[in-house]
Amino acid sequence: MEIKVSALTKIFRSPSGEEVRALKEVDLTIPANRIFTLLGPSGCGKTTLLRCIVGLEVPDSGEIAIGDTVVWSKKQRIFIPPNKRGIGMVFQTYAIWPHMTVFDNVAYPLQVRRLPREEIRRRVRETLKFVKLEGLENRPATALSGGQQQRVALARALVSEPKVILFDEPLSNLDAKLREETRKELRRFLTELRITAVYVTHDRLEALTLSDLVAVMREGVVVEVGTPLDIYFRPKHKFVADFIGKANFIEGTVESTSEDLIRVVTPMGPIACRRAEGLTPGQRVTVCVRPEAITIDRPGDTSGGTNTFRGRVVSLLFVGENYEGEVAVGKTILAIKTNPTFPIGEGEEVSVYIDPAQCHILME
């Protein structure tokens, strides 16, 4: 079920009369049967947007449609309440009732709708089996692990067979290892269901691993929408490139363009980059290079080599699977990642190679 948000604005007003625009005329189309993530720093408006879609917040202007049904419109004076929007919701705190068993927690939405008892049993059993909690029906909810409680919350959201399911940072209360395991499970669940899922997080790793599409938000505005690969390797905005992961930003001027590459003059020397449309010689640009696009080797002859420079290791930090560090090329400091088995130390001279295919020019 597609979700379409048009010119949506939400203003919060303090008792003193101060206004905070949480959403600023947001236009967004969330395609059907995809996992769509709203990503951004705290206070960017992502949770407010989610709550407007579900009906827990009332916007000040704009329109929200789920499928062919307009569920909220200022102009048309339409407001469909949350329980009639066909939406399931998984909250950050799970919102599990501690005095109920696993079965009763999951069955509650169906009991409220007064479905036949046998149908409730059948649907709860099927849903618990799907989320791998079969056999725990009679277990008190408080006797479960954090990951199991998260799956109970997911089962309760799914048992009503919603058209759309929304997630508000559901993994933030789990420890790092359990969060990694649950991410994999959740991706599998949602892919098998072929359901429209909208996921809110400030964790870039969650966004990249879970999503089919990612919308990066900032100060109440959707800055950019794309696949995880596009958002990470081919961002259009410096804010997006910086927020989604560590990156080097090198200012320069376009010197020449060819069919495949663009040559940019920078303080560290000329850099050959992947071609981008609409660039002309003399234009000021920013070159974005991820640390993993930089190869470090023993110092050698760098004269005449495309994107090959001489540098000096400024810092190194062992983080397990690799070293993270910095290399100085002239006055330019580059963040790098390198294999921990490669013998290298701080202060050493090195050869620096930047893959032109992974040099991305930011237009904004």
- Per residue in 240-255, pLDDT (tens digit) is 999 999 999 999 999 9
pLDDT for residue 103: 94
pLDDT for residue 320: 82
* Residue whose pair of structure tokens reads 């359990």 in the numeric block: 178
Rounded to an integer, what distance in angstroms lies between the CA atom of residue 214 and that of residue 224? 8
Chain Cα centroid distance, residue 239: 14
Higher pLDDT, 170 or 203: 203
Q: Above 80 in pLDDT, residue 188?
A: yes
Say what percent of the chain tops pLDDT 70: 98
List residues bridging with 273 in a β-sheet: 262
Domain 246-362, architecture per CATH = Beta Barrel (2.40)
Positive/negative CA dihedral, 206, 210, 214, 219 = negative
pLDDT for residue 340: 79
Domain 3-242 has CATH 1.10.357.10: no
Binning pLDDT at 50, 70 and 90, where does residue 193 land? Answer: confident
Exposure string of 52-87, with b = 16+ CB inside 10 Å and e = fewer, is bbbbebebeebbbbbeeebbbbbeeeeebeeeebbb
Binning pLDDT at 50, 70 and 90, where does residue 149 land? Answer: confident
Q: What single letter denotes the amino acid at residue 279?
A: L
Give the count of beta carbons closer than 10 Å to the beta carbon of residue 331.
7
Higher pLDDT, 135 or 7: 7
List residues bridging with 213 in a β-sheet: 36
User: Which of 151, 147, 146 is CA-nearest to residue 131?
Assistant: 151
DSSP state for residue 47 in the 8-state scheme: H
Which of helix, strand or coil describes residue 357?
Answer: helix
Both structure tokens of 244: 């989604």
As a whole number, mean pLDDT of residues 108-135 equals 90
pLDDT digits 0-9 by tens, 287-330: 999 999 999 988 876 555 789 999 999 999 988 888 899 999 99
Which of helix, strand or coil describes residue 261?
Answer: strand
Name which of 56-65, 66-75, 186-195, 281-290 the model is least confident about.
Answer: 186-195
pLDDT for residue 324: 92
The listed range with the strongest mean pLDDT (76-80, 171-175, 273-277) is 76-80
As a whole number, mean pLDDT of residues 226-234 equals 94
pLDDT for residue 94: 67
For residues 253 and 284, the answer to whether their CB atoms sit within 8 Å is yes
pLDDT for residue 330: 92
**How open is the CA angle 127-194-126, to the nearest 5 degrees?**
10
Name which of 32-46, 150-164, 228-242, 299-313 the model is least confident about.
Answer: 299-313
Give residue limits of the domains in the chain: 3-242, 246-362
Binning pLDDT at 50, 70 and 90, where does residue 364 land? Answer: low
Q: Above 90 in pLDDT, residue 119?
A: yes
As a whole number, mean pLDDT of residues 80-100 equals 85
pLDDT for residue 194: 86
Q: What single letter denotes the amino acid at residue 117?
A: R
This prediction has a pTM of: 0.87
Give the count of beta carbons closer than 10 Å to the beta carbon of residue 191.
15
Q: What string of DSSP letters covers 72-103? A: EETTTTEE--GGGTTEEEE-TTTT--TTSBHH
As a whole number, mean pLDDT of residues 269-284 equals 89
Rounded to an integer, what distance in angstroms lies between the CA atom of residue 9 and that of residue 11? 7
Q: What is the mean pLDDT of the chain?
A: 90
pLDDT for residue 322: 86
For residues 344 and 313, the answer to whether their CB atoms sit within 8 Å is yes
Q: Above 80 in pLDDT, residue 66?
A: yes
As a whole number, mean pLDDT of residues 104-126 equals 91
Q: Above 90 in pLDDT, residue 276?
A: no
Rounded to an integer, what distance in angstroms lies between the CA atom of residue 287 and that of residue 261? 13
